[in-house]
């Protein structure tokens, strides 16, 4: 069985979760961690988790939504600390791709959530785009662990994150023809890798013209097995254990 350790099963992307799970099951995908990115999606994820036993969730405010009502978010999180389906704080982080105009606000919201993660001993799901140095600086201020989702940096950066106790999230991007991230990923120890689709985004080759879905985690696992020159059964077994270790499921 494979796990999609990072997807966004929001209604606006997927209106038929039963069908999505059925299709994923045919590809032997049997567990999901669906991440919120905004205040409204936190409510959506909580509802989803209450309806499906194989869907676990992360609750967080993504840098793109760093102006959402933070206090309300924190209240939701704290009132769900005993919810067994809530396994992480995420996705949170820094994103300077569209500019650094609101950098201070992004850092403030990121750090507040890191402080929460430290206080309640929860793993974090980190989004970092064009912001590696600031991300590392923020993470170093708190005693937190988790995953660097959709990793796209150098091997040196990956190893630094690993040294800090993080796992590396790997998905469809490595299958893209021009992506040299595959050269980095094949050097990362398998016991620090989490497989993710980031559905509905970043569909792996050769399905890029379709919307991404958790069923494609199989394609990602096969691709990883291929570039690492190991058996897919090994990829499946080790990455499943990694999910258990990170999220304590």
Q: How far is the CB of 149 from Zn ion (least distance, A)?
A: 6
- 213 counts as binding Zn ion under rule CB under 5 A: no
Do 57 and 37 meet the contact criterion of CB atoms below 8 Å apart?
no
CB 17, min distance to Zn ion, A = 17
Q: If binding means CB under 5 A, how many residues of this protein chain bind Zn ion? A: 1
Q: For Zn ion, which is the closer residue by CB, 125 or 144?
A: 125
Compare residues 40 and 233 and give the one whose CB is closer to Zn ion. 40
Looking at the Cβ atoms of 95 and 198, the one nearer to Zn ion is 198
Q: Is there binding between residue 198 and Zn ion (CB under 5 A)?
A: yes
For CA atoms 166, 235, 188, 7, the dihedral sign is: negative
Q: Give the Cα separation of 186 and 224 in Å (integer).
A: 7
- Is the bond leading into 136 cis (omega within 30 degrees of zero)? no
Q: Which residue is nearest to Zn ion (CB)?
A: 198
Site for Zn ion, residues 158 to 197, rule: CB under 5 A? none
- Told to check if 44 binds Zn ion by CB under 5 A, we report no
**Minimum CB distance to Zn ion smaller for 77 or for 169:** 169
Closer residue to Zn ion (CB): 211 or 225: 211
Q: Please, what is the minimum distance in Å from the beta carbon of residue 179 to Zn ion?
A: 17
Q: 18-29: string of b/e by CB count within 10 Å (b at 16+)?
A: eebbeebeebeb
Nearest residue (CB) to Zn ion, 78 versus 151: 151
Minimum gap (Å) between residue 125 Cβ and Zn ion: 8
| Rounded least distance, CB 229 to Zn ion, Å | 29
Nearest approach in angstroms of CB 230 to Zn ion is: 26
Note the residues at the interface with Zn ion (CB under 5 A): 198
């Amino acid at each position: 069985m494979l796990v999609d350790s990072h997807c966004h099963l929001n209604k606006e992307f997927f209106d038929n979760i039963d069908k999505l799970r059925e299709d994923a099951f045919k590809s032997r995908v049997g567990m999901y961690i669906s991440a919120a990115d905004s205040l409204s999606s936190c409510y959506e994820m909580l509802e989803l988790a209450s309806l499906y036993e194989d869907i676990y969730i992360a609750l967080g405010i993504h840098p793109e939504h760093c102006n959402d009502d933070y206090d309300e978010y924190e209240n939701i999180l704290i009132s769900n600390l005993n919810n067994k389906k809530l396994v992480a704080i995420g996705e949170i982080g820094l994103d300077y791709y569209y500019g650094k105009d609101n950098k201070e606000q992004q850092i403030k919201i990121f750090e507040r959530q890191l402080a929460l993660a430290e206080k309640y001993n929860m793993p974090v799901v980190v989004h970092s785009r064009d912001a590696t140095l600031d991300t590392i600086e923020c993470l170093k201020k708190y005693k937190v662990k988790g995953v660097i989702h959709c990793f796209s940096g150098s091997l040196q950066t990956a190893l630094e994150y690993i040294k800090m106790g993080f796992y590396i999230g790997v998905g469809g991007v490595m299958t893209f023809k021009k992506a040299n991230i595959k050269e980095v990923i094949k050097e990362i120890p398998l016991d620090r890798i989490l497989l993710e689709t980031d559905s509905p985004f970043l569909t792996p080759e050769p399905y890029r013209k379709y919307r991404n879905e958790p069923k494609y985690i199989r394609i990602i696992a096969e691709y990883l097995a291929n570039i690492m020159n190991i058996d897919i059964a090994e990829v499946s077994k080790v990455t499943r254990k990694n999910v258990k270790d990170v999220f304590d499921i």
